[in-house]
Structure 1
Amino acid sequence: MKKGEVSPAELLEEAITRAERVNGRLNAIVIGMHVIARARARGQLPDGPFRGVPFLMKDMATAYAGVPLQAASRLYRGNVPAHHAELTERFLRAGLVVFGKTNSPEFGILPTTEPELYGPTHNPWRLGYSPGGSSGGAAAAVAAGIVPMAHGGDGGGSIRIPASCCGLFGFKPTRARNPVGPDVSESFYGFAAEHVLSRTVRDSAAALDATAGPEATAMYHAPAPYQGFLAALGSPPEKLRIAFTSDPLLHGAEPHPDNRRAVEETAKLLEKLGHHVEPARPRFEAREFAKGFFLHFSALVAAEIRAAEAFLGRPAKREDVERTTWLLNLVGRSTDAGTFVYYRRKLFDVQRAIAGFFQDHDILLTPTIGRPPVPHGTLLAKGLEEGMQELVARLDRPELLRLPRLLDMAVDRAYAFSPFTPVFNVTGQPSASVPLHWNADGLPIGTMLTARFGEDARLFRLCAQIEEVQSFRARRAPVHAAASPGLS
């Protein structure tokens, strides 16, 4: 693009063609924006770092004026925002050309992308398997070669989980590094962070340079980096004190041997790179954390549905949302304020425990998720469990949620799949999934690196050092949009 070898309009048409080749099999892009994108590509684009680069945005939270923002929910069908989110403005000032929006689970709740409104997104590494969630559509689009990077959001692992499932680099920035306004001042109590999924560390760092920084409507903002994130990649990291563990940080099943093996091999690689690596893990009340995080999520869903009622001009009904969403709404509605604040304190206890752990360690290495990518439906209720959940939802009786194991099975499934990522949403630390390993079935296995609060540049440098010796770009998913092996 910078050499003038291709125009923004030509590059956009290539991306649209690529999407048309594979999206029928993947269902990654669910809202087209071709008319808007073509007009933008033919116009006077800003001279930003990504001038003319085709881009996709997630159908969740971040508004693009004049384009539906539905959060994969029937509840918001037809919702069209009148103005851009601040993050969208920054994407556009960077020169990106947005030509579509990607799939996610309803309200971003599940760690898989199988919404009723749009249908499931398939993993390019194996059709019929989940790409993870909630930024599953974004991950599938990047892994399939439609775009080099795509927007995602991470409230409990929703960038890192799909990055692991789709063999990508997924970076969750420090809390409040990127904007969330102007319509909200904080996203999911500060747990959620917006950024991109990419094939390279370089692109992720350059994207954060283009979007990071304070905004007037925010309650707080992250400490400024001492230099740009892309510039930070110019020198290797100092010798770091790296702790590693494969033990689940939250209660649940032990990680799959493939995920455990990936951590062990990454630890050996880091030691060869000159870092001090030792087995260690933070200690905290895992069950209290898991319950607290679940209650916070439930309260958020209840608040979202209550706010949506003003948009609808009527009370919300069970038919407006999926069963899981409605059950979380019941939990949130029936949780008293004292219980909520008690568990909020418990989450803050964990934040302090993690901060203490990072006084003696620079980086924590863990699996990104607890197992390899799973077939569609694995994380959803079935049979008697599904029937009982639907009965309680239809009766609208929150007290019935106390029936033994009614919700526990669903919560345990989610935490067994992702027993690592939510901790660092609560603590607000920068955390990245790095695609270094594939198992014997050819499925990607991510490993997660987490740094201290505010030390995004240090984490980028370490990830770039790893990428230099073990490139992320060497492997291509079986479902890929490039017309020939020469295109990447």
Structure 2
Amino acid sequence: MSLSPQEYMGSDATELARQITEGHTTPAELLDVAIAQYHRLNPQLNAVCQPMFEIARQRVKQPLAGPLAGVPILIKDAIQDYAGLPTGNGSKVFSRIPARQHSHIVQRLLNAGAVIMGKSNTPELALKGVTDPEAFGPSRNPWNMAHTTGGSSGGSAAAVASGMVPMAGANDGGGSIRIPAACCGLFGLRPSRGRVSVGPTHGEIWEGASSDLVLCRSVRDAALAMDVLAGPNRGDPFVLAPAALAFRDLAKREPGVLRIGYSTRSPVDTPVHPEAIRAVKNAAELLRSLGHEVVEAEPVYDGMALARCYLNMYFGQVAATLDQAREMGARDEEFELLTRTLAAFGRSMSSATYINSHRQWNQFGQALGSFYQQHDLFMTPALAHPPIRHEKANLPRKQTRVIELLLNTGLLPLLARWGALDNMVSDMARKNLTYVPFTQLANLTGTPAMSVPLHWTADGLPLGVQFCGPSASEALLLQLASQLEAAQPGPINGRL
């Protein structure tokens, strides 16, 4: 007998796999429930941009084996290529181009028996901390649809938080797993650089700053995803040694007594909302009650320098992507205004400027390495502000008109090349990171970090707490997260 919608929504992927293994339901029955949830929820949430129902229906007719056998999931419409289907990256241009082969991530999910039923929505080129692509429209937060899901894995977050699927693919190049996890009351782990391959089409994404995993509702599901997805693809430029044991086993161990440093100060000196500060302070008290040593301390680095380095990477990467699109016959005008603006800055930047900016990443890694000599983990707000309303993410109309004028007249790259827009870049760095200033440190240092759903605001919105660790410390993060999950379990799904 099939699970009821309520039972389905209340189960994580691990539990659904168990139900199938023990014969309480079948992959076909679960898929029917998941598709019914899609039809009920997606018109409101806009979480899925590309349904794959016929592919999924054919798959559940086949024998399935593995730890995710028969479990319906989504993959993200960025990086996670499914052969024969476009990986749209939130863009009209790339939504026309089918992938030639499965990505390592997709192949491993299929090898684990997962039933991929669609692709989740993402901002154009996965560039933003909100999910509002012009090509597919905004994804909405199940806890309050007037507010953002975060980004760039916002479609995945909306789908999991609403109970449409128990797990969905995600990637994180500047916080894109942790930000939507924090916005939607989910658990989100960003693995270390090199832990999960993004091959074979790609070697590394964004100079190794981006990592792939999933968004999920339980820590054990994240550990399961690590066991399924971790590992190299031949030819990868950076490979981590495998864990000594399965992450599912490691996650069950006690973390021991940890020394955890924390800070609620924005590294770019922008305001931090009282709810975000309260989230960390309450987490500190919870950690102390569990026996951990929690002290106010932070790595010593220049937050604005990190923000500028991060934007320079954006500029160069977006310029290269739009140049690639031009070679395929696309026009810049087919991309969104922000995307074209970033590309214009990238085209005006010299290769020496880009390389010198990239070389600074080592300074941030050294600062974090020094911090971890004295502390096991670093705790901050995941977001500097509760999930914002959709309209707050829009560029001011006056700024939009100025940028359009500079782009249309060809002045923007010229002025950028002369250095006349340096103040504009610094202002862009500060403004763009006002709501999400805490996540990029892990990306530029290649280290793991997670958002744990520990706080809900007075308005009933989730607000996650971030924990960062040294390279390859995913097991320790999962152990602490398991302990916190047991001590303070949260609501399972959004309100729909």
TM > 0.5: yes
The partner residue of 2:291 within 253, 269, 274 is 274
2:369 paired with 1:350: no
Percent identity between the aligned chains? 37
Structure 2 distance, partners of 1:44, 1:233, is 30
Deviation at 1:263, TM superposition (A): 0.2
Structure 1 distance, partners of 2:301, 2:422, is 26
Structure 1 distance, partners of 2:245, 2:39, is 40
Structure 2 distance, partners of 1:393, 1:111, is 24
Q: Which amino acid aligns with 1:286?
A: G
The partner residue of 1:399 within 402, 408, 414 is 414
**Is the CA contact (8 Å cut-off) linking 2:308 and 2:426 kept in structure 1?**
no
SS of match in other structure, 1:433 = strand
Deviation at 1:470, TM superposition (A): 0.6
2:78 paired with 1:77: no
2:301 paired with 1:284: yes
**Is the CA contact (8 Å cut-off) linking 1:132 and 1:373 kept in structure 2?**
yes
2:67 paired with 1:52: no
The partner residue of 1:223 within 230, 234, 241 is 241
- TM normalised by structure 2 equals 0.93
Name the residue aligned to 1:483.
none
SS of match in other structure, 1:416 = coil
The partner residue of 1:11 within 30, 33, 41 is 30
Structure 1 distance, partners of 2:320, 2:111, is 33
Structure 1 window deviating more from structure 2 (397-406 vs 322-331): it is 397-406
**Is the CA contact (8 Å cut-off) linking 1:184 and 1:217 kept in structure 2?**
no
Q: Which amino acid aligns with 2:280?
A: V
**Is the CA contact (8 Å cut-off) linking 1:381 and 1:410 kept in structure 2?**
no
Structure 1 distance, partners of 2:472, 2:320, is 30
Q: Which amino acid aligns with 2:131?
A: T
Deviation at 1:409, TM superposition (A): 4.4
Deviation at 1:405, TM superposition (A): 5.3
The partner residue of 1:33 within 45, 49, 52 is 52
2:281 paired with 1:296: no
SS of match in other structure, 1:205 = helix
Structure 1 distance, partners of 2:473, 2:457, is 31
2:446 paired with 1:431: no
2:152 paired with 1:131: no
Name the residue aligned to 2:207.
189
Gaps of at least 5 residues in structure 1 are: 480-488
2:357 paired with 1:338: no
SS of match in other structure, 2:96 = coil
Task: State the Cα deviation string for residues 115-164 of structure 1 (Å, max 9, x = none).
Answer: 10001111111112110000000000000000111000000000000000
2:240 paired with 1:239: no
Structure 2 distance, partners of 1:119, 1:411, is 25
Deviation at 1:408, TM superposition (A): 4.6
Deviation at 1:382, TM superposition (A): 1.8
**Is the CA contact (8 Å cut-off) linking 2:84 and 2:100 kept in structure 1?**
yes
Deviation at 1:383, TM superposition (A): 1.7
Structure 1 distance, partners of 2:194, 2:89, is 21
The partner residue of 2:275 within 247, 250, 258 is 258
Name the residue aligned to 2:342.
328
SS of match in other structure, 1:349 = helix
Q: Which amino acid aligns with 2:284?
A: A
Structure 2 distance, partners of 1:346, 1:463, is 31
SS of match in other structure, 1:277 = strand
**Is the CA contact (8 Å cut-off) linking 2:247 and 2:475 kept in structure 1?**
yes
Structure 1 distance, partners of 2:149, 2:202, is 29
Name the residue aligned to 2:385.
371
Structure 1 window deviating more from structure 2 (66-75 vs 355-364): it is 66-75
Task: State the Cα deviation string for residues 196-230 of structure 1 (Å, max 9, x = none).
Answer: 00000000101110110122120011232121111
**Is the CA contact (8 Å cut-off) linking 2:452 and 2:466 kept in structure 1?**
yes
Structure 2 distance, partners of 1:31, 1:10, is 21
**Is the CA contact (8 Å cut-off) linking 2:187 and 2:217 kept in structure 1?**
yes
**Is the CA contact (8 Å cut-off) linking 1:165 and 1:444 kept in structure 2?**
yes
Q: Which amino acid aligns with 2:206?
A: F
Structure 1 window deviating more from structure 2 (373-382 vs 111-120): it is 373-382
Deviation at 1:96, TM superposition (A): 0.6
Moved over 6 A (4+): none
**Is the CA contact (8 Å cut-off) linking 2:182 and 2:453 kept in structure 1?**
yes
Name the residue aligned to 1:21.
40
**Is the CA contact (8 Å cut-off) linking 1:214 and 1:221 kept in structure 2?**
yes
Deviation at 1:406, TM superposition (A): 4.3
- TM normalised by structure 1 equals 0.95
Structure 1 window deviating more from structure 2 (359-368 vs 227-236): it is 227-236
Task: State the Cα deviation string for residues 34-70 of structure 1 (Å, max 9, x = none).
Answer: 000000011122x110100000011111100122211
CA RMSD after TM alignment: 1.3
Written as runs of structure 1 = structure 2, the 5 A alignment for 1:415-454 is: 415-454=433-472
Name the residue aligned to 2:331.
317
Structure 1 distance, partners of 2:385, 2:367, is 26
Name the residue aligned to 1:484.
none
Structure 2 distance, partners of 1:404, 1:364, is 32
**Is the CA contact (8 Å cut-off) linking 2:322 and 2:332 kept in structure 1?**
no
Instruction: Tell me how many residue pairs correspond in the alignment.
Output: 473
